[in-house]
Amino acid sequence: MTSKIIYTGDLRTECTHLRSGQTIITDAPVDNNGKGEAFSPTDLAATSLGSCMITIMGISARNHKIDIDGATLEVTKHMASDPRRISGIDIKVNMPQISYTSKEKKILEKAGRTCPVAFSLHPDIIQNIEFVWYD
């Protein structure tokens, strides 16, 4: 078992990662009857894409001795209705102010675009990925 989820009422859950004991609280979003005081489940899905991308990029960077410490990602989730679902995720990957070679950029971009979450999301979810390099 990976995690345990408890419904605590008022459209809130407490999710516990069993191996580490770390917890995440979720709330329904304001536009879906919730308070929006924490990540919504769909926020987590979109955020998981960004987290997975930078993690796989980190693995590739370590294997190729490329420094990506300090990279930041900006995630924007787009929702659709009928049925209510994630229709798109925009990820802006801001790389540190380091001069990367074209080969390093290609290695890192390929790693990010081929993370497991990217391949796990439904193909109808549009993934707009932008890399910002400071040369």
Domain locations in the chain as residue ranges: 3-32, 41-132
Q: Is the pLDDT of residue 87 over 90?
A: yes
Homologous superfamily in CATH for domain 41-132: K homology (KH) domain (3.30.300.20)
Q: What does the pLDDT average to over 43-71?
A: 98
d(CA 91, CA 77): 9
Q: What does the pLDDT average to over 6-23?
A: 98
Residue 135: pLDDT band with limits 50, 70, 90: confident
